[in-house]
Each structure stands twice: as structure tokens, then as C-alpha cells.
Structure 1
Amino acid sequence: MKRLILTLMLATVSFAPLSFAASSTPDQAATQQAPVTVHYRTAAIAGVNIFYREAGPKDGPVVVLLHGFPTSSHMFRNLIPLLADRYRVIAPDYPGFGQSDAPDHTKFVFSFGHYADLVDGLLDRLGAKKYSMYVMDYGAPVGYRLALKHPDRVAALIVQNGNAYEEGLREFWDPIKKYWADGSKESRDALSGLVTLETTKFQYTDGMSDLSRISPDNWVHDQALLDRPGNKDIQLDLFYDYRTNVPLYPQFQAFFRERKPPTLIVWGKNDKIFPSEGARPYLRDLPDAELHLLDTGHFALEDKLDVMAPLIHDFLDRKIAEGN
């Protein structure tokens, strides 16, 4: 028995180094990718500090990620490393969101036109002269205004629950449309519920196919920023300014038709804020767009990252030439 135990011990010792050596061969080590480093930076653009996340090769094709309400570039925290193996990814926070400055709303213009100008200034600062854009929620009018400014710079579009058609502004928008129509304090105050924890949590959980995938950190993080002194008025100003995007829809659509940017649409079909009725009209102007309606809600990346990231990466690999 002692001889058997000794034999087994020697066998274990003799085989262990071989197993370790096999797992560390140069060929296998070469195939292992190093973890992606994400940089967290701030740039002063037109007198306001704009925070942004950046990752990927400096000479890679640029992908700009434009976030929605009520979040920030935080919504892209899991997607960024999955794209940054090949692409230079830039994800800014708009003023009043995330880690960017949040000036007094009486002294600073919180508008989608201003946001587009500031993102434009940031991209100029970073030397991004050609880029693909991922647009979501508020990111759609910001990105499409940017496209109108520089149509030649847009290499491709990734659209996720971001509207450019009146069919997409349904029942959820009725109280906001009332505020657009009369601009009254009463209508403004009636929208206060849109910046509460209940609504923030609703945006992350409603329509999701698997709630166990949705981290509560999302609404806790976003609500803490919404609850900063003065931020409610910033958000109410933006609700009112959203009305200025609607008259631009025909121009956005003309850009689609005339420029025909390669377009991937990955849309949470259960979203009540930007429902799927706003996704299908893109095909009128972009008949070659790739449309995927996913069984999820507003913040689809929280629920369907494992589906969306491969779709996005494959789309960029197929449609974006090296060096853009």
C-alpha cells in the first residue's frame, strides 16, 4: 500500500509540470488578449468640462457612443471593452449628466443643439475626423444634429431605441407634448415624476426579458446624479427643448436617404418610451439597414449585451474600412 501511494504521488509530481508547461506554450500565450484599458478623461470644451471614456487603438476606426436619459457613458461600460480590441471608442457625458459639469440652468443653455456643438468640439480636440456613431435615446438627436453639421464624417450608424420619426413618439410622450404646446409652469411641474427613482428604475426594468441581468447599481447610480441640487431643472429644460428635434426629423431622414450610411438597428421592442414603431420607419429611408428587434426594453445593453455586442462588432468589421 505504501508503495502504491508513493507511486501515485510521484506520478502527480511528474505530470503537473508538464500540464503547466502545456498551458503556457508561446503559441497559446500569443492568442490570449490582454485586458482592455479604459481611460477616464475630461476636456474643457467651450468653457465646460466634458468627461469621456476612451479605449482602443489610437489609429483604429473611431466609434462614438452617445448616451440617453437619465444615464451617461456609464451605460456603455460593458460594451466599450468588447469593441476596443479593434476600434477607438469615445463615449462622452453631456453637461448635466454623469461626470461632466452641471452648470446652473439659468446661466447655461441645456439644449440638444448645444450638446451637438460640444460633442463636435470634443471630437475635434481628439482628432476624430471620421467616425461611426452608436445613438440611443437623447443620443439620437445629438448624433443626427452632428451628422447634419458634418455629413461626410459619418462612417456608419448603430441605432438603439433612438428616434427620428414621429411614429415613434407615442403615448408616453403625451404629457411632454403638452408642455411643448403651452410651456406653462403647470405642465413643467407635471413632468417632475420623470426624474424620480420610481421612473428611473422603471426605465431599467420594464420590458426586460431577464430581470436577474439588470444590476440595481444602474438606477441607484443614475438617481444619485439626478438628485443633485439643480439637476431637476436641467432635465426639465431638456424635456422642453426636445421639441426642437421634431422639426429636424425631415432633415435627419434626408441625410439617411442621401448619404445612405451603413446602419445597424438593434432595438428593444418592449420599450414604452421609444417603442418599435419608431424603429421600422428607418427602413423607408435606409432600405439596406440591418434591423434586429430584441425581446428587451429601453436599456437593452443591460439585458442583451451578449446578443448585441457580437452583432455590433460584426457589423463594424464588415462595413468599416481600416483607417476610418
Structure 2
Amino acid sequence: MSRPVIDDAIDVFKIDDDVTLRRMVLHNANPKGIVLFLHGFPETLYAWQDIATALAGDFEVHAFDWPGYGLSSRPAIDRFSYAPRDYARLLDRYIEKAGIDTSKLTIYATDIGALPALLLAVEKTDIARTIIVGDFAPFNRPQFMYPSLQSLKAGPAMDQVRASLNSNRDEILENTFTRGLPKEAHFDVAREFKDDMSRGWMQGAMTMADAFAHYYSHFTRDQDHFEAQLTRLTTPVKVVWGEQDLYINKQMGVELAERLHAELTVLAGVGHFPHLQAPALTIAEVRAAFR
């Protein structure tokens, strides 16, 4: 498939009076299953464009921009808190309103998208046949997090970090994806994707960095809730982590996999964004989930 197919597959999907999502759906007349991709910061649904086209020959593929990102809604925080818990509820509504058969669904979630998927699975164990997660912080273990992320979680530095993120948009979009990797491991991010992130950075009065900061202001509470409810999670989970992840140390993934008795794959030489750095490995993980 060519890129125009991706553009043709993008539409606007109303969840409720407060939230409308920009989404992408690649249909298949006889799919082997359904895949839903959930992006992280500072991404948009365009992070999945190459992977989606590679999988569309066999699967129905969904992705959307989280509220606060890309071209999805950015309601005021008194209407939507941008907390992982709010994202989990939104994910549930999307799956229901989109008519997705959860018995055929694999969710692939990274960064800020992963905790909401697992929070939902705690409450609805049949929300997917498989959930693949990685490169995020399931538990309140700030020692395994990048210093600026630690500062976003609590304390007087929160506002400073948020202001810094907002004032450094161009640097973030240029360098976030390869930061911490040796030069020989650097990879290109598609211009179309960069342009989409830049275009979607601010909508109305809220930036993607603002949405990210709101998420983090509730992060510890929702991490603690997830850890307390961990034994209720029975949906099959696979953990995939970049060995060289600068932002969230792989030890976070090791602990999650051990406590869930889940399979863990640590990707040698790969950083925080495996789906961008090594998309073939992401495609292979998705295909394996349906075998």
C-alpha cells in the first residue's frame, strides 16, 4: 500500500460531547485479527503509518491521537483530566463505539498509552486477546526514570519542566527519538510524521506538552492503583522493551514481566521508541500475537 491509503483511512470519530478523536482505520475484508496501536509523547497516530500499512494486508488496524495530541480534542481539565485513568475510560469507549470484537483484538501500547491499556484490562479482563506493552512506567519507581520525568511527577520543579517542554518544541521533535543512542544507532523519522507533530503541537490553548504534564500530575496515583490491583490482571500480556531506553530503564520492564509472569523481550541496541527504530520487530510481535 502507498501513503495515500493512510491519508484516506483517517477520519474524525466522536466519543462524546467533550472528546472527538482523529483516528486511522485500515480495513480488511477477511482479517486474521484486529490491532489497535496506542502512541506516546510527543507522537501522533502517524507514528504507526508504516507499520499499519505493512499489517493491513492481514489485519484490521486502528490508531488514534490521544486527547491533547495531534488533531484530537483538547477539552478543559475540569471536563477531562488527561490522567491515565481518564485515558483508560476513553480507550474503553473507543473500543465499544468502534464495534471492535475484543476476542480478536491485540492492543500494542507504548509510553503514555501503556498504563491506560493495563488499567482498563484490570477492570475488563476480556478487553483484548493480548496486550503488548513497553517503554513506560507501570509502577512508581522514579529511580528508573529520566530526571525530567521524575520532576514532572511531583514537587516544585513540575512547572519548570512543563515550561521547558513548551519552549523547546523544535528540539524535542528533532531529538527526542534518538536521544541517548550512539550515533550509529540513530534513525530517521519520516518528514510527514514530524510535520504532523509540529502541526498538532498546539490546538487552542493547550499544547501536547501541557497534556503530558496533566497526565503526569495524576501519574503516581494511577500507578499505585494499578500496582494494588495487579493480581486482577488476567489478560495475556507481552512486555517488549528497548535495552537502551534512556527515559524508562529496562528494569521497569523486568519487574513488570516478573510480577505478571509475562514473556519479556529486551531489544538489543534499541531505545525508547522500538516501533520507530526497529519497526520490523514491532510487526513481528504483532503477527506472533495471533499465532
Moved over 6 A (4+): none
Is it true that 1:293 corresponds to 2:270 in the alignment? no
Deviation per CA, 1:24-83: give whole Å up to 9, x if none. Answer: xxxxxxxxxx76944112221121211111113266322211111111211111111122
Shift, 1:273, TM fit: 1.2
Is it true that 1:266 corresponds to 2:236 in the alignment? no
> Percent sequence identity over matched residues?
18
Aligned counterparts of 2:22 and 2:143: Cα–Cα separation in 1: 30
TM-score, reference length from structure 2:
0.83
SS in 2 for 1:264: strand
What's 1:253 paired with? Answer: 230
Is it true that 1:213 corresponds to 2:209 in the alignment? no
Aligned partner of 2:164: which letter?
Answer: G
Shift, 1:231, TM fit: 2.2
Counterparts in 2 of 1:286 and 1:111: CA distance versus 1, 3 Å:
closer
What's 1:303 paired with? Answer: 277
Of 199, 204, 213, the residue aligned with 2:172 is: 199
Shift, 1:221, TM fit: 3.3
Shift, 1:177, TM fit: 4.3
Question: Which of 159-168 and 133-142 deviates more?
Answer: 159-168
Q: How many residues align?
A: 278
Counterparts in 2 of 1:58 and 1:97: CA distance versus 1, 3 Å:
farther
Task: Answer yes or no: is the 8 Å Cα contact 1:65–1:135 preserved in 2.
Answer: yes
Deviation per CA, 1:164-221: give whole Å up to 9, x if none. Answer: 234475241x455455444x5x632333223422233332121445324334554453
Of 203, 210, 225, the residue aligned with 2:200 is: 225
Deviation per CA, 1:125-171: give whole Å up to 9, x if none. Answer: 11114121101001111211221231122211212313323447524
What's 1:45 paired with? Answer: 15
What's 1:55 paired with? Answer: 26
Of 209, 212, 221, the residue aligned with 1:244 is: 221
What's 1:234 paired with? Answer: 211
Of 50, 54, 64, the residue aligned with 2:36 is: 64
Aligned counterparts of 1:246 and 1:287: Cα–Cα separation in 2: 19
Counterparts in 2 of 1:145 and 1:123: CA distance versus 1, 3 Å:
same
Shift, 1:300, TM fit: 1.9
Aligned counterparts of 1:179 and 1:288: Cα–Cα separation in 2: 29
Deviation per CA, 1:213-243: give whole Å up to 9, x if none. Answer: 3345544532442244522433322221222
What's 2:56 paired with? Answer: 84
Deviation per CA, 1:226-262: give whole Å up to 9, x if none. Answer: 2445224333222212222221231463244xx150x
Counterparts in 2 of 1:164 and 1:239: CA distance versus 1, 3 Å:
closer
Larger Rg: 1
What's 1:73 paired with? Answer: 45
Aligned counterparts of 2:152 and 2:139: Cα–Cα separation in 1: 20
Counterparts in 2 of 1:218 and 1:127: CA distance versus 1, 3 Å:
closer
Aligned partner of 1:292: which letter?
Answer: V
Task: Answer yes or no: is the 8 Å Cα contact 2:34–2:106 preserved in 1.
Answer: yes
Of 252, 257, 266, the residue aligned with 1:278 is: 252
Aligned counterparts of 1:169 and 1:134: Cα–Cα separation in 2: 25
Aligned counterparts of 1:281 and 1:139: Cα–Cα separation in 2: 19
Task: Answer yes or no: is the 8 Å Cα contact 1:113–1:142 preserved in 2.
Answer: yes
Counterparts in 2 of 1:102 and 1:92: CA distance versus 1, 3 Å:
same
What's 1:30 paired with? Answer: none
Shift, 1:304, TM fit: 0.8
Is it true that 1:170 corresponds to 2:141 in the alignment? no
SS in 2 for 1:133: strand
RMSD: 2.7
TM-score, reference length from structure 1:
0.75
What's 1:124 paired with? Answer: 96
Task: Answer yes or no: is the 8 Å Cα contact 1:148–1:252 preserved in 2.
Answer: yes
Unaligned stretches of 5+ residues in structure 1: 1-33, 319-324
Task: Answer yes or no: is the 8 Å Cα contact 1:56–1:86 preserved in 2.
Answer: no
Counterparts in 2 of 1:251 and 1:296: CA distance versus 1, 3 Å:
same
SS in 1 for 2:107: strand
Counterparts in 2 of 1:226 and 1:91: CA distance versus 1, 3 Å:
same
SS in 1 for 2:130: strand
